[in-house]
Amino acid sequence: MYAINHAATALLLRKKESKLPLLPLLVSVQLVEILWVLFNYLGWEHFSISDGRVHLDYLPYSHSILSGVVAAALAFCVINWGYNNRKLAVAFAIGVLSHVVIDMVFHEKDIRLSPFSATPVLGFGIIDYPVLNFIIEFVYGIFCWWYFKGSKALLWVIIVFNIIDLPIMLAHGATLTPFMHYPFLLPSVILFQILITWYFVYRYANLKGAHRQTAIS
């Protein structure tokens, strides 16, 4: 799943507990991906390009099921005991786990049970069917917006970013050559996507509260 729809997952968590701050929830649903970016920069994880497609061959530390559970548990302990905020701790932990669960639906078979086991690997491989991938992600993003009862501006954010992602989903062959020669480009592009979707979702999701306060006054 691409950055905008992982970010949209934070709207589901925020709707359940409307008083929770949105920014930590946005971080929670992308924490796994931030780790992937960091581990790629460090050379601990890597991707490859073959048959005209990007393959996330090696991401056991950031995306394995055990890693997700451990990261969620650590986050829960820090927020619950360090900041005495159990509701945020639970929501943050769910957000972390949501990333791994959602990626199992979209990824190829590249998600391990743990960093220490090469098999089995999980993934339904929807990413191999770009049009289907786009439709499912688009519908999911709209659903998150609908459930959250967000502003029209937020709806446009989700729509526009999904459309922008479509050429990336369809990219293959020679268009991927720069990523072969400069491996740092792919994690950099993903990091940029994460940061810019955080900004726009945070900005326009908060319009919801502002509109309500205006209506009440």
pLDDT digits (tens, 9 = 90+) for 174-190: 888 898 889 999 999 99
Between 173 and 39, the more confident residue is 39
Which run of H or E residues covers position 70? Answer: helix 65-77
Considering only the C-alpha atoms of the chain, give the largest distance between any 2 of them, rounded to a whole number of Å: 59
pLDDT score, position 101: 95
pLDDT score, position 50: 87
Do residues 45 and 61 make contact, with C-beta atoms less than 8 angstroms apart? yes
Taking the C-alpha atoms of residue 76 and residue 78, their distance in angstroms, rounded to an integer, is 6
For 201-215, what is each residue's pLDDT tens digit?
999 997 754 444 433
pLDDT score, position 208: 55
For 76-95, what is each residue's pLDDT tens digit?
999 999 999 999 999 999 99
DSSP assignment of 119-177 = --EE---GGGSHHHHHHHHHHHHHHHHHHHT--HHHHHHHHHHHHHHHHHHH--GGGGH
* Predicted confidence band of residue 132 (pLDDT cuts 50, 70, 90): very high
pLDDT score, position 183: 92
* Predicted confidence band of residue 51 (pLDDT cuts 50, 70, 90): confident
For 96-112, what is each residue's pLDDT tens digit?
999 999 999 999 999 99
Asked if the model's pLDDT at residue 144 lies above 80, the reply is yes
Segment 129-144 mean pLDDT: 96
Asked if the model's pLDDT at residue 193 lies above 80, the reply is yes
Asked if the model's pLDDT at residue 216 lies above 70, the reply is no
pLDDT score, position 146: 95
Quote the mean pLDDT of the chain: 91
Do residues 121 and 109 make contact, with C-beta atoms less than 8 angstroms apart? yes
